[in-house]
Chains A and B, each alone.
Chain A
């Protein structure tokens, strides 16, 4: 039970790490896939600082006995940006609300998931941290994660840039394990892909594409 909710929260939060919205007027599609959860969502930036989105998520517990489905509407806000001479730092708010169903309870539950995140990046270095509350009736799973990484070399923006990213994430009260996933990230001007294997030997693939 606890593991399944951990999977839920991890999946919903994953997109935050990827950069939660694109430039004004753009539509961003994101996906996060691994054996225990499969997620896809899309959002539309209606201003340079605001985006609305919708997503779907399927997940299961590590022992494969419990499954969960979440349909969620999201609102993303770029609260503050600091532009440095060779860097950028962002502070984000992400709010989500949706219906959660599972194979161990009837009907559905309304889940609310407000969160904040911050990131700092240069053309060669990346770091981020996020925290998000996951609350529904009888459910309380707060989540934190951190990511850092570097690019192997600089490229022109229309060339593919490889990065090594390491992510650590944990959900209070659900698992004593800290999940750590090293991933290779490839960024091109309209998309990025990430793939890696976590410390539980599970493969993971993420993507993001901007229309």
Chain B
């Protein structure tokens, strides 16, 4: 009887572990990827709107976030698609602003937005 209960418990733990492992791997495989640019000269709502609009036209773009105070433009890629950092940089430059830093981060735009809000 005790052996049966132990076996059931072990099976439950193993099943839970499998679920956790699978979830973790799923999140790793499908983790959101964003390109985060630090932009000089972006000081007004109209600037932000122009940049947002041009970046949203890119086929791989899922979402865009702009933080004027921290000079950040974040672009999130659609699932399974890759963002072209050079193209993002060119779009921002073409809109009239200077990109001083560009990095790829494993975060969604919502994550970046939440992090910026926390920092304020």
Contacts and interface: CB of A to CB of B under 8 A. Distances in A.
The reply to whether chain A is a binding partner of chain B is yes
Interface of A: 19, 22-26, 48-49, 78, 81-88, 121-123, 154, 156-158, 161, 187-190, 210
Given A25-B53, A81-B41, A157-B49, 6 more contacts: A23-B51, A23-B54, A85-B71, A88-B44, A156-B68, A210-B46
Nearest to A189: B45
Given A24-B50, A48-B96, A78-B96, A187 B45 contact: yes
B43 to A, nearest CB: 5
Looking at chain A's contact residues, the main secondary structure is loop
A87 B41 contact: yes
A24 B41 contact: no
Q: Which 8 A-B pairs have CB atoms at the shortest separation, nearest pair first?
A: A23-B50, A83-B41, A157-B48, A83-B40, A88-B41, A83-B98, A157-B45, A189-B45
Looking at chain B's contact residues, the main secondary structure is mixed
Interface of B: 40-51, 53-54, 66-69, 71, 94-98
A83 B54 CA distance: 19
A190 B66 CA distance: 15
Given A154-B69, A156-B68, A157-B68, A23 B46 contact: yes
A109 to B, nearest CB: 35
A24 B48 contact: no
Nearest to A120: B43
A189 B46 CA distance: 6
Given A84-B40, A122-B43, A187-B44, A24 B54 contact: yes
A86 B68 CA distance: 9
B46 A22 contact: yes
B66 A157 contact: yes
A47 B42 CA distance: 18
A116 B22 CA distance: 63
Contact of B97 (A19, A83, A188): A83
A190 B69 CA distance: 18
Nearest to A158: B45
26 contacts: A23-B95, A24-B95, A25-B53, A26-B50, A48-B95, A81-B96, A82-B41, A83-B40, A83-B96, A86-B71, A88-B43, A88-B47, A121-B43, A123-B43, A123-B44, A123-B69, A156-B68, A157-B44, A157-B45, A157-B48, A157-B49, A157-B67, A188-B45, A189-B45, A189-B48, A189-B49
